[in-house]
Structure 1
Amino acid sequence: MFQYIGSSSSPWMNKLLHYFKRYIGEYFHPKLYLTTLLFLVACLAFNFLVDFENTYVDHYYGSSFRWLLYFGMMAFPFLFVCGLLYVFDINRTWVYSREFWLLFFVGFVVISLERSFTYHDGLLAELDYVDRKFVRRLIAKFKPIFITLFSLLVFYYCYERPRDQNRSWYGLHIKAFDFKPYAFLILLVFLGIGVASFLGDLTQYYPRYLKVGGINFAGKHELSAWVPMVTYEMVYGLSFLGVEFFFRGFLVIGFARVLGGYTVLAMVGPYMFLHFGKPITECVSSIFGGYLIGILAYYSRHIWGGVILHVSLAWFMEFFAWLQKLYND
């Protein structure tokens, strides 16, 4: 059992602190961390200087080539950190591991397909503009579930399940999951987002609901205004189950056998790249948030803590952005 850090604070907070202290003690490598940080800062600066994703990647919207671009974009930072493990002689076995390359190609093929998938646009072409805009945004938020989650669950059942004695389903199982350690973190998220809502780049991007055409959809179909709003926000929240399943489930728990705890650091890069196109404040916070939630997933072998925190973060952003707009109006 865990040896808690102190006796004055609650046991469940000590458990979280123990995870962080244990991880730093086992996996902190100064050169690795410094080089990774410089790499992430350089990638972040490059993206915002040239608007790489919105200008170049999205230029190929609807093209199969966009799938290849997203594969390179998402796989590159993960492979870069793995390369650092080799250069610094921390872990070189992954290079010769068939399991690593199988997981690598399966995972990044799936996430790049999900990010580049546009085939539903053809099915919606017959709808008028109001319906097409709202339904298209709902489908976009549902893609992490329909494509990423379902695809990797099939892979888990066929490949991972015979090797996983704990039947963790990449952290999707609910056995022995304890919600209490995350309650305090949710409070911190609430307070942090409340303060961050005064930053202009966040209030320009959120609330997302105002940009999906739900108000016009409700008016056209004579629905109460809350019906499309609740529908969108529920699907929006559900989408983070797919996000957490890939980044904390597949990339952290799935790669743990090959990379050990260093897989947390390797995951941070692709997770930051996922936030390109969003406000820079959110991109920077994704580095630290992804790292901390990754540590929790690595030791707990659950993704539900990350799901709860991620959904709370998204809904709090929507809520505080609404308040800011109401106040400013």
Structure 2
Amino acid sequence: MKKLIANTVADLLQPAMFKKYAVSFLLIAATCFLNYSTSFSFWLRNVAFSHALVWYSLLFFFFFTAGFLIQNGKELFQKKQVQFILIAGSILFALKVAMPFHKLFPDSIGTNYQKAFQQPMNWFGALLVMLPLLMLMHWLLEKKWTLFGIKQKQSLKAYVLLIAFMLPLLIWASLQHDFSLVYPKAAIVGRQLGSEANPFHYLAFETAYAADFFTIEFFFRGFLILALSKLIGKQCLLPVALFYFSIHLGKPMMEAVSSFFGGLILGSISYHSKSIWGGLLVHISIALFMELFGFIF
């Protein structure tokens, strides 16, 4: 684990990367200004599936492409497999975000339950659809029916220490005003179901929320990082981190900005460990602690 941490730090603190980080921060700052300080929003609400699919495909493609250009100009686009991953990745995650799986709910379940579990239904639906598609990506790229990063390569004990180290920061974040506007996400259960809400409802919501991180980790730290790393090595980290930032534009600004750093760190961990499980443990733990602290504070 010490070697993994040392390699991650070395990846992120290369002097050659500082200028590229500066350009990335300018892009992130401009995006955040538009998204959080003006009437314009990159994240759509209540639009048709076709419109959402096109918009998010273009949005993700823009940030993914920007990452490649910042990292190494046009040189990284010369490989056809890189071009394929750039286009397929943007469309796949747009599909994940845009598909209205909640419409599969029967009308008999009741309006309140439909509203309370709309997002959990989308999370579970995305997991069931995305994993086979990611297996298809693996077959198209390497002729193997499996998932990138599915093999556990090392002990997960050290990741528990990393989570403990991050707890003070999470507590501080939970005390911020914009945090309280989003977390706990499961509070929607209480708002929609009122006196009907019980512990099972909250548990179902949080289980679906945790399941969504399997989709995210297999996509970003599995498919994107591990497939691209075989083609362009460590140069994949920055483009994937900017893509990862773009999917957080519907969340509080601090979370969106920090997601870029999280994408770099988790991407480097996946790159060196060749597995998604350490990053997945950290990601799910952080998310559920944010839920817990949202209820407490």
TM-score by length of 2: 0.90
What percentage of residue pairs aligned between the two structures are identical? 23
Tell me whether 1:22 sits opposite 2:26 in the alignment.
no
Tell me whether 1:80 sits opposite 2:66 in the alignment.
yes
- Residues 33-72 of structure 1: pairs in structure 2 closer than 5 A: 33-50=21-38, 51-54=40-43, 57-58=44-45, 61-72=47-58
Q: CA deviation at 1:78?
A: 1.0
Distance 1:17 1:97, change over 3 A: same
Counterpart of 2:212? Answer: 239
Counterpart of 2:295? Answer: 322
Counterpart of 1:251? Answer: 224
Greater Rg by CA:
1
Aligned length: 296
Counterpart of 2:136? Answer: 154
Distance 1:259 1:277, change over 3 A: same
Q: CA deviation at 1:115?
A: 0.7
Q: CA deviation at 1:188?
A: 1.8
TM-score by length of 1: 0.82
Tell me whether 1:96 sits opposite 2:73 in the alignment.
no
Counterpart of 2:254? Answer: 281
Distance in 2 of aligned mates of 1:161 and 1:217: 50
Query: Could you list the runs of 5+ residues in structure 1 that have no partner in the other structure?
Result: 1-11, 325-329
Distance in 1 of aligned mates of 2:268 and 2:149: 13
Q: 1:294 aligns with which of 248, 267, 271?
A: 267
Question: What SS does the corresponding residue of 1:64 show, helix, strand or coil?
Answer: helix
Alpha-carbon RMSD across the aligned residues, in angstroms, is: 2.4
Q: CA deviation at 1:316?
A: 0.5
Which amino acid letter does the alignment assign opposite residue 308 of structure 1?
L
Given that 1:252 and 1:297 are in contact with CA atoms closer than 8 Å, whether structure 2 keeps it comes out as yes
Which amino acid letter does the alignment assign opposite residue 58 of structure 1?
R
Distance 1:70 1:124, change over 3 A: farther
Query: Could you list the runs of 5+ residues in structure 2 that have no partner in the other structure?
Result: none
Distance 1:25 1:204, change over 3 A: closer
Q: Which runs of 4+ in 1 moved over 3 A?
A: 24-28, 122-127, 212-215
Distance in 1 of aligned mates of 2:186 and 2:192: 9
Given that 2:63 and 2:243 are in contact with CA atoms closer than 8 Å, whether structure 1 keeps it comes out as yes
